[in-house]
């Protein structure tokens, strides 16, 4: 009779647990029916496990596969992007459960489980995610262990215990390999998940856009400075520059397509870089925004790969950010941007739509005449915002067609985009080139790692005004209305309003100190994770290795791997040894074993279970010359160790005798050894007659 | 005369009828000196019965022999009451168990019911028949023989009953020269009857007392504990040695040391008696490919004498 393979019951149970753990994070991302299929398959398998139910027939299996593919196609429209592929993978993974019969099938499911677990990293790379996947790896390995166990180990916990041990032992070696193994750039890029919403400012700005962002407590980016952190009123993170106004919406207009390297940029604006000084260097770690723009303080230069310089002195990436992105920036405070504007550029920066905001235009021209100089005009407008009844609010009233007119002369309450927008319109109407800048302002200091956290609610809009010879100057009209906005966080300023809608429960200014401490601590851990693990690229690797090894070359890396790997092995060995050697040998035993070693050199090996008399008899049989000595040693040894009642000690003179006897034996045995060697040599030297 | 030479004389005397089996004879004597019951296991015709008869004969102990068969009943061993017409009373007729040495031949041929009738006698030295408890006058030894359990028509002794036997020994085939002597020998029945008495009941008592005075040092007790611990923790063993088993081992080792003419126990003494004392108390775990002899072998080899 052929032996029918039975999947060990423990293995099945372990596999079901492992599969549930592997699928859990995916279930929230996938369409509901995929989760349903996974659960139904698991239940089906559970029935089979309990001895009920039936295995699906070939026709049914084919049908299920076709239905799944059709369902995925109709759900996503295509098959070849990240989410449908993952959905397909998980559906087949679940279906494989119910046709699993042979050992080979189980192995396929287990290996597939490892793969599915790893795909979670395509979506999330946080520290919690990593720990969770480590846990699932232990569970899947547990199933693998259970598959190879005999039926007699009933406890499922044994398999999981073994796998946890395995994983725990693998961790130190993984860390070492992570540190030294060459970081290889991906051979192809996996398309990002498409369902994610874009975050942060978009490529245009109309009233209400920024105030929407103010309701979000998501992290936009983190900044860690090489030196000290500049004062809050300098922390203007420039991201987008809008020069075109259509009456309602600000956008980049014709200015947007110029992207180039720093050198090209310097040449194109004919800037004198030698005058730049007082740079501050920092590293920005952007969260995935699914937008291509980057944020930096002016005037910014970044040499990070795939970062480009845009014509309006902002930074861009080549592709939208599908995952966290880290870049280095040098910023200078004493820059002069475009000291001269030609007619064409001037036309762009003075553009205003026809037929909008007639009252504002009149008002601007009149004010400009009254003020005299351009600088005085700017001051008078700011003074107007400051002195008159303008209010700063997160929920301004809706505006009609002539939005600037309505804002300036009737509603008079708005968020930063209203002030920036109307300010630029006022400037342009008076013939002064000006533009809107959108980005973030400020940031929260994390004292644990000394870096800034910039959240979505720090999104801000301000203005840049051009002066002959001095170039573009930042003017923040919001600062005139609500100076505290720049000095402190928006939360504290708008605490009451935000508190009402309670969209930001944790960021309430009444936040408990404990909660704040925990939040910042946790963020600092996350930041370190991003900085040292997720962004551990070739460059950082070289930097780390250079710091540790002094110089990076093959020899030193090999030595490092050997030493650190050896250290891990040594620790394991030591812990094993500690279990074995629980106590020290008795002094008499040590002395006795000396003569055993001497005999060992003569080729007489004593086994662990051999008593002294037995051994002496063996020695006597092999080496009659040593017989007496060996027997005396055995007798003395037995007398000392065994001829006493429990708790008694043997007389010390016996010990002395034993020592003497052992010494003599060792000497005699040594002579025997030499004799043996000489005999052997004679034997070999004997002429072949 | 020293105890050692006394014992050597006994061994020599029994050796006249059981040729070339000195070690087994010594173990059997050791078992009796420990006041333990002895189980002799081997194929039919290996001299089991001869050994048991010879033991009883040289010690001049009263002995009775029961051939265990599948239809033997407990009353056949313990005895029964019969109504006496003359006295108009029930009179107890003691069974073969009321003796000094009971030779239970082929004990595993009988049913568990009858086997268990021996339990009380072996463990407590008394029997209860028809509600009345009768004490067996010491010395009381059971020397049982059995065929290997793999043979057909046998009821394997349960663990609880095996545990009552201090030792189980196997005789094995004699070596060629001893077997040749056997072929040339005269009638074995006459030889058995001709065996001289070498020890008496008082001698047994004396030897037993002397054995209790044999020294066991800390080093030896450490070794004993290592053995016990190994049998309990190694996964080849289905279960380890019980405290009763460990005590039996120590008692037998003491007696063995006395028989070797030593005042103290050395590891070799423990090793000499361990296969006989522990062999029938061990059972291999289901996944272990070996019998209890292999377990004993492993135990003796793996546990360090010096540690």
Residues of B in contact with A614 (CB under 8 A): 268
Task: Please report the pLDDT score of residue A134 as a whole number.
Answer: 93
Tell me the C-alpha distance between A50 and A263, whole Å. 71
Q: Is A411 contained in some domain? A: no
Min Cα distance B246 → chain A (Å) is 17
Tell me the C-alpha distance between A244 and A246, whole Å. 7
Say whether both A618 and A663 belong to one domain: yes
Q: Is A394 contained in some domain? A: no
Residues of A in contact with B298 (CB under 8 A): none
Average pLDDT, chain B: 84
Q: Is A532 contained in some domain? A: no
Question: Which chain B residues have any C-beta within 8 angstroms of a chain A C-beta?
Answer: 215-221, 263-268, 271, 286-287, 300-307
What H or E segment, with its residue span, contains residue A601?
helix A587-601
Gyration radius from chain A CA atoms: 39
Task: Please report the pLDDT score of residue A136 as a whole number.
Answer: 94
Say whether both A309 and A268 belong to one domain: yes
Say whether both A163 and A298 belong to one domain: no
Q: Is A187 contained in some domain? A: no
Residues of A in contact with B223 (CB under 8 A): none
Q: For this structure, is A460 an active site residue?
A: yes
Structure tokens belonging to residue A617? 């008899």
Say whether both A37 and A112 belong to one domain: yes
Of A152, A643, A648, the CB nearest to B263: A643
Q: What is the pLDDT of residues A300-313, one digit of tens each?
A: 888 888 888 887 88
Say whether both A595 and A647 belong to one domain: yes
Angle between helices A612-622 and B267-278 (to 10 degrees): 110
Min Cα distance B214 → chain A (Å) is 9
Say whether both A61 and A137 belong to one domain: yes
Of B218, B220, B268, the CB nearest to A614: B268
Please calculate the CA angle A58-A64-A70 and round it to the nearest 5 degrees.
140
Q: Is A571 contained in some domain? A: yes
Say whether both A334 and A460 belong to one domain: yes
Residues of B in contact with A613 (CB under 8 A): 266, 268
Tell me the C-alpha distance between A153 and A484, whole Å. 69
Question: Predicted confidence band at B121 (pLDDT cuts at 50, 70, 90)?
Answer: confident
Domain count, chain A: 4
Say whether both A142 and A217 belong to one domain: no
Positions of chain A with pLDDT lower than 50, given as ranges: 1-2, 498-506, 509, 686-689
User: Domain end: A559, A580, A601, which one?
Assistant: A580
Q: What is the pLDDT of residues B34-63, one digit of tens each?
A: 888 988 888 877 888 888 888 888 888 888
3-state secondary structure A350-403: CCCCCCCCHHHHHHHHHHHHHHCCHHHHHHHHHHHHHHCCCEECCCCCCCCCCH
What are the structural domains, with CATH classification, of chain B?
Answer: 3-206 (3.40.50.300), 213-302 (1.10.8.80)
Say whether both A445 and A575 belong to one domain: no
Of A593, A611, A647, the CB nearest to B267: A611
Structure tokens belonging to residue A653? 């003179």
Unique residue bearing structure tokens 């050198």: A263
Q: Which residue has the higher pLDDT, A485 or B7?
A: B7
Inter-residue contact B198 to B57 (CB < 8 Å): no
Inter-residue contact A205 to A249 (CB < 8 Å): yes
Closest CA to A129 of A283, A324, A285: A324
Which of A580, A599, A609, A658 best tests the B interface by mutation, with the highest count of B CBs <10 A?
A609
Strand-pair category, B141-146 with B37-41: parallel
Min Cα distance A648 → chain B (Å) is 8
Unique residue bearing structure tokens 């004699």: B174
Q: What is the pLDDT of residues B268-302, one digit of tens each?
A: 899 999 998 888 888 887 777 778 788 888 888 88
Task: Please report the pLDDT score of residue B187 as a whole number.
Answer: 67
Secondary structure (DSSP) of chain B: --HHHHHHHHHHHHHTTSTT-HHHHHHHHHHHHTT-EEEEE--TTSSHHHHHHHHHHHTT--EEEEE--TT--HHHHHEEEEEETTTTEEEEEE-TTSSSEEEEETGGGS-HHHHHHHHHHHHHSEEEETTEEEEPPSP-EEEEEE--TTSTT--PPPHHHHTTEEEEEE--PPPHHHHHHHHH---HHHHHHHPPP---HHHHHHHHHHHHTSB--HHHHHHHHHHHHHHHHSTTBSS---HHHHHHHHHHHHHHHHHTT-SB--HHHHHHHHHHHHGGG--B-TT--S-HHHHHHHHHHHS-S--
Share of chain A residues as helix, strand and coil, in percent rounded to the nearest 5: 55, 10, 30
Q: Is A388 contained in some domain? A: no
Which of B256, B304, B306 best tests the A interface by mutation, with the highest count of A CBs <10 A?
B306
Among chain B residues, CA nearest to A643: B264
Strand-pair category, B141-146 with B101-105: parallel
Q: For this structure, is A402 an active site residue?
A: no
Q: Is A21 contained in some domain? A: yes
Say whether both A240 and A335 belong to one domain: yes
Task: Please report the pLDDT score of residue A680 as a whole number.
Answer: 59
Q: Is A383 contained in some domain? A: no
Q: What is the arithmetic mean of pLDDT over B117-137?
A: 82
Q: Can you say how many angstroms the Cα of residue A157 is from the centroid of all Cα atoms in its chain? A: 31
A641 touches chain B (CB under 8 A): yes
Tell me the C-alpha distance between A255 and A436, whole Å. 13
Q: What is the pLDDT of residues B72-114, one digit of tens each?
A: 888 888 888 888 888 888 888 888 888 888 888 888 888 888 8
Inter-residue contact A618 to A657 (CB < 8 Å): no
Range of the domain at A275: 204-353+434-513
Of A152, A608, A643, the CB nearest to B305: A608
Percent of chain A topping pLDDT 70 = 89
Say whether both A623 and A559 belong to one domain: no
Contact between A610 and B263 using a beta-carbon 8 Å cutoff: no
Say whether both A549 and A615 belong to one domain: no
Among chain A residues, CA nearest to B266: A642
Closest CA to A139 of A119, A118, A110, A112: A110
């Amino acid at each position: 009779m052929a032996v029918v393979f039975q999947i060990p019951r423990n293995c099945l149970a372990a596999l079901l647990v492992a599969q549930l753990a592997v699928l859990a994070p995916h279930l929230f991302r996938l369409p509901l029916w995929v989760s349903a299929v996974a659960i139904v398959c698991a239940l089906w398998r559970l029935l089979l496990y309990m001895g009920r139910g039936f295995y699906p027939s070939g026709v049914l299996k084919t049908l299920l596969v076709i239905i799944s593919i059709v369902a995925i196609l109709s759900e996503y429209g295509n098959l070849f992007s990240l989410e449908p592929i993952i959905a397909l993978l998980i559906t087949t993974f679940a279906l494989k459960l119910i046709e699993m019969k042979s050992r080979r099938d189980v192995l396929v499911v287990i290996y597939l489980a490892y793969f599915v677990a790893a795909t979670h990293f395509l979506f999330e790379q946080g520290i919690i995610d990593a720990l969770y996947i480590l846990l699932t790896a232990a569970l899947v390995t547990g199933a693998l262990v259970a598959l190879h166990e005999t039926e007699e180990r009933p406890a499922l916990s044994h398999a999981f215990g073994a796998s946890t041990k395995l994983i725990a032992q693998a961790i130190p070696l993984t860390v070492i390999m992570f540190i030294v193994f060459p970081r290889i750039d991906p051979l192809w890029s996996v398309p990002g998940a498409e369902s994610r919403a874009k975050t942060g400012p978009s490529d245009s700005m109309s009233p209400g856009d920024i105030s929407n962002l103010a309701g979000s407590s998501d992290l936009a980016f983190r900044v860690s400075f090489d030196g000290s952190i500049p004062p809050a009123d300098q922390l203007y993170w420039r991201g987008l520059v809008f020069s075109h106004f259509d009456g309602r919406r600000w956008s980049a207009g014709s200015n947007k397509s110029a992207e180039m390297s720093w050198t090209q940029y310097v040449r194109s604006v004919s800037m004198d870089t030698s005058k730049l000084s007082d740079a501050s260097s920092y590293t920005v770690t952007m969260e995935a925004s699914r937008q291509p723009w980057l944020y930096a303080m002016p005037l910014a230069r970044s040499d990070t790969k795939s970062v480009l310089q845009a014509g309006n002195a902002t930074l861009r990436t080549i592709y939208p950010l599908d995952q966290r992105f880290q870049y280095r920036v040098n910023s200078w405070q004493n820059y002069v941007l475009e000291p001269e504007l030609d007619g064409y550029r001037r036309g762009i920066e003075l553009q205003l739509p026809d037929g909008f905001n007639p009252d504002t235009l009149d008002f601007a021209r009149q004010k400009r005449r009254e003020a005299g100089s351009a600088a005085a005009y700017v001051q008078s407008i700011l003074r107007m915002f400051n002195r008159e009844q303008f209010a700063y609010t997160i929920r301004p009233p809706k505006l009609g067609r002539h939005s600037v007119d309505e804002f300036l002369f009737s509603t008079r309450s708005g968020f930063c985009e209203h002030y920036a927008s109307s300010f630029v319109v006022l400037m342009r109407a008076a013939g002064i080139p000006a533009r809107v800048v959108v980005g973030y302002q400020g940031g929260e200091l994390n004292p644990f790692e000394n870096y800034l956290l910039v959240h979505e609610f720090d999104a801000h809009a301000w203005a840049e005004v051009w002066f002959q010879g001095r170039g573009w100057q930042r003017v923040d009209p919001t600062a005139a209305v609500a100076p505290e906005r720049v000095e402190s966080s928006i939360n504290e300023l708008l605490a009451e309003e935000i508190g009402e809608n309670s969209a930001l429960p944790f960021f309430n200014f009444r936040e408990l100190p404990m909660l704040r401490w925990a939040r910042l601590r946790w963020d600092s851990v996350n930041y370190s994770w991003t900085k040292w693990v997720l962004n551990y690229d070739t460059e950082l690797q070289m930097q780390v290795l250079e710091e540790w090894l002094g110089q990076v070359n093959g020899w030193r890396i090999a030595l490092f791997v050997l030493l650190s790997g050896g250290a891990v092995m040594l620790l394991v060995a030591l812990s094993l040894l500690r279990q074995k050697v629980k106590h020290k040998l008795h002094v008499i035993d040590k002395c006795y074993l000396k003569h055993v070693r001497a005999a060992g050199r003569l080729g007489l090996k004593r086994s662990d279970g051999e008593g002294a008399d037995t051994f002496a008899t063996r020695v006597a049989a092999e080496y009659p010359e040593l017989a007496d000595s060996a027997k005396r040693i055995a007798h003395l040894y037995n007398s000392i160790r065994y001829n006493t009642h429990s708790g008694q000690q043997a007389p010390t003179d016996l010990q002395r005798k034993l020592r003497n006897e052992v010494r003599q034996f060792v000497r005699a045995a040594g002579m025997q050894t030499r004799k043996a060697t000489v005999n052997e040599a004679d034997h070999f030297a004997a002429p072949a007659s | 005369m020293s105890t050692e030479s006394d014992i050597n004389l006994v061994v020599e005397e029994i050796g006249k009828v059981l040729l070339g089996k000195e070690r087994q004879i010594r173990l059997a004597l050791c078992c009796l000196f420990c006041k333990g019951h002895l189980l002799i296991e081997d194929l039919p015709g290996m001299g089991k019965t001869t050994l048991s008869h010879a033991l009883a004969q040289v010690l001049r102990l009263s002995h009775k022999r029961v051939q265990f068969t599948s239809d033997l009943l407990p009353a056949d061993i313990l005895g029964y009451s019969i109504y006496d017409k003359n006295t108009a009373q029930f009179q107890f007729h003691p069974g073969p168990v009321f003796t000094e040495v009971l030779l239970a031949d082929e004990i595993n041929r009988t049913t568990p019911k009858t086997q268990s009738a021996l339990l009380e006698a072996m463990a407590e030295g008394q029997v209860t028949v028809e509600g009345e408890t009768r004490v067996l006058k010491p010395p009381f030894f059971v020397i049982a023989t059995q065929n290997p359990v793999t043979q057909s028509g046998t009821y394997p002794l349960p663990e609880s009953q095996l545990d009552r036997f201090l030792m189980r020994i196997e005789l094995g085939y004699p070596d060629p020269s001893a077997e040749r002597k056997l072929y040339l020998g005269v009638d074995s029945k006459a030889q058995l009857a001709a065996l001289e008495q070498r020890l008496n009941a008082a001698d047994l008592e004396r030897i037993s007392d002397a054995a209790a005075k044999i020294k066991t040092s800390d080093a030896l007790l450490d070794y004993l504990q290592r053995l016990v611990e190994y049998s309990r923790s190694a996964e080849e063993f289905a279960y380890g040695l019980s405290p009763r088993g460990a005590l039996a081992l120590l008692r037998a080792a003491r007696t063995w040391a006395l028989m070797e003419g030593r005042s103290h126990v050395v590891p070799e003494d423990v090793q000499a008696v361990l296969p006989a004392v522990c062999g029938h108390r061990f059972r291999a775990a289901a996944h272990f490919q070996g019998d209890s002899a292999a377990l004993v072998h492993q135990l003796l080899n793996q546990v360090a004498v010096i540690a």
